[in-house]
């Protein structure tokens, strides 16, 4: 199972649309995960229409229309892998311990908000992933997103992709 993981798209405030490379990945993926800060419900509509399966949450920049359609925390089981998605996890300091406590029955936690790619494992084995942002790199050198594979309860081939400068 191929996963595409993105967050903090901020369309149309930070970009008019997602990069073409990301749309191609959306259409190719078995599951698309979006960790919030969509900004406009039109992007959610388009991503739903172009995805085989979409798992998304709202972020702090998402208004009532998006909050009416998306949860604060989403959970799914993907071929036995227990996935949770949330926008914010708090400060980087202590993140692994805090998330291990708050998501005890989770194998992988995807989060956004910081626009900073993140890939760590907590003491209890919880994997934490942040794909960065494909449209608003802030202090990062490039725009980014993640892909990964899921098979028999295992996450593998996690890859951070850099997008070309626009």
CATH code for position 43 = 3.60.21.10
DSSP state of 3: E
Query: Phi, psi at residue 39, to the nearest 5°?
Result: 85, -45
pLDDT for res 139: 87
Residue 157 domain boundaries = 2-163
The continuous run of DSSP H or E covering 77 comes out as: strand 73-78
Total domains in the fold of the chain: 1
Write down the pTM of the prediction.
0.96
**Residue 45: both structure tokens together:** 């509509």
Q: Helix 20-28 to helix 41-50 angle, to the nearest 10 degrees?
A: 50
CA end-to-end span of the chain, whole Å? 30
Element (H, E) at 49: helix 41-50
d(CA 100, CA 89): 11
Residue 31 has a CB neighbour count (10 Å cut-off) of 20
- d(Cα 36, Cα 34) in Å, to the nearest integer? 6
Number of other residues whose CB lies within 10 A of the CB of residue 24: 12
pLDDT of 166 reads: 66
Residues 131, 134, 136, 139, CA torsion sign? positive
Per-residue pLDDT in tens (0 to 9) along the chain, 166 residues: 999 999 999 998 888 899 999 999 999 999 999 999 999 999 999 999 999 999 999 999 999 999 999 999 999 999 999 999 999 999 999 999 999 999 999 999 999 999 999 999 999 999 999 999 999 988 899 999 999 999 999 999 999 999 987 6
């Amino acid at each position: 199972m191929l996963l595409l993981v993105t967050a903090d798209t901020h369309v149309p405030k930070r970009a008019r649309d997602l990069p073409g490379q990301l749309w191609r990945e959306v259409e190719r993926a078995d599951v698309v995960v979006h960790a919030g800060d969509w900004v406009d419900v039109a992007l959610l509509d388009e991503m739903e229409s172009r995805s085989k399966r979409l798992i998304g949450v709202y972020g702090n920049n998402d208004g009532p229309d998006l909050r009416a359609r998306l949860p604060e925390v989403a959970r799914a089981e993907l071929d036995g892998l227990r996935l949770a998605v949330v926008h914010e996890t708090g400060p980087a300091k202590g993140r692994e311990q805090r998330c291990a406590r708050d998501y005890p029955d989770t194998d992988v936690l995807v989060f956004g908000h910081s626009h900073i790619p993140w890939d760590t494992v907590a003491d209890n084995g919880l994997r934490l992933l942040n794909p960065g942002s494909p449209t608003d790199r802030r202090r990062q050198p490039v725009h980014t997103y993640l892909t990964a594979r899921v098979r028999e309860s295992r996450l593998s081939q996690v890859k951070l992709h850099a997008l070309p400068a626009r």
